[in-house]
Copies of this chain bind each other. A is one copy, B any other.
Amino acid sequence: MKVLITGGGGFLGYRLAQAIAARGSLTGRDGTAQKVAGISLLDTAFPANVDARFKCITGDLSAPGVIDQALDRDTDAVFHLAAVVSGGAEADFDLGMRVNLDGTRMLLEACRKLAAPPRLVFASSVAAFGGDLPPVLDDSTTPNPQTSYGMQKVVGEYLVTDYTRKGFIDGRSLRLPTIVVRPGKPNLAASSFASGIIREPLNGEPSALPVPDTTGVWLLSPGKVIDAFIHAHELPNSAWGVNRVVNLPGITVTVREMLAALGRVAGAATAARVTYQPDERIQKIVKTWPAGFRTDRALALGFKADSDFEDVVREYVKDQGLRI
């Protein structure tokens, strides 16, 4: 069992690699557990001191030859997480098209040429939805993205589904909620604040909130999304049928509720490090994202959400070894 993770140098991709390595096996084409013989990570940059068990390929997914370096002829499992994030793809349309659309297509074409069709788990996004939305979305809601990033993710889903129908791959697409709390630095994602308002105060730093605190966020913790990637891979082909896309479960929390949970975990003085500094560009993107979901199909397939946001904050504190 050989595994490739695109975006494997990023926070989620690297954590997924560690989780698969710790697990030691994944389900193969024949439905039995197969020992993981190798994990390749493709990304433009990697953390310092990468685990020596991982083979790292440094490069742009959409640059000629890079994917060929990352895929072996007998790669069995591909987790496709690499992407230019929402704010980045909106600011630079051509870059988003090249990496998010062309890069995905190049990866699918390379998978098609392997010895046998690999299982492929594609990280799509709740940014697929937008426009005139019902208050609560469900599995029948039609994607109508209001960002180029969301459009590129939806197009990726349709490609994954058709490549699967044609038998070129065995694909499964997951629409990820906003992942909170991400460690590290703020990034260009319009949702970056949702982690920043927890992470920075816990580090003793101020944090700017670009949206009103009544804003609802549909979110999932890093731990649960890693579980979801692996669960999506492990489900048999027959569990998916002709519909290869699923909205992952999550919880809806307003910014105000997030800050209250932070206060309960780390004290009111910590939560008070967040100040409202309106940013119209961010607000314009975030307000197109839905906050309320029914995810019956995902729950029936065995995907799981977090229990509440206080647990999400406590998980982050524990993962980071913070003292509060």
List A residues at the B interface (Cβ < 8 Å): 93, 130-132, 140-146, 148, 151, 154-155, 158-159, 161-162, 165-166, 241-243
Contacts and interface: CB of A to CB of B under 8 A. Distances in A.
A162 B145 contact: yes
A53 to B, nearest CB: 37
Contacts of A93: 166
Given A131-B243, A132-B242, A142-B143, 12 more contacts: A140-B140, A140-B142, A141-B142, A144-B242, A144-B243, A145-B162, A148-B166, A151-B161, A151-B162, A155-B158, A155-B159, A158-B158
A142 B139 CA distance: 10
The 3 closest A-B pairs by CB, nearest first: A151-B162, A142-B142, A131-B242
A155 B162 CA distance: 11
21 contacts: A130-B242, A131-B242, A131-B243, A132-B241, A132-B242, A140-B140, A140-B142, A142-B142, A142-B143, A144-B161, A144-B243, A145-B158, A146-B165, A148-B166, A151-B158, A151-B159, A151-B161, A154-B158, A155-B158, A155-B159, A158-B158
Number of copies: 2
A90 to B, nearest CB: 9
Contacts of A145: 158, 162
A241 to B, nearest CB: 8
A242 B166 contact: no
A295 to B, nearest CB: 15
A42 B241 CA distance: 40
A175 to B, nearest CB: 13
A151 B160 CA distance: 10
Contacts of A159: 151, 155
B146 A242 contact: yes
Contacts of A154: 158
Contacts of A166: 93, 148
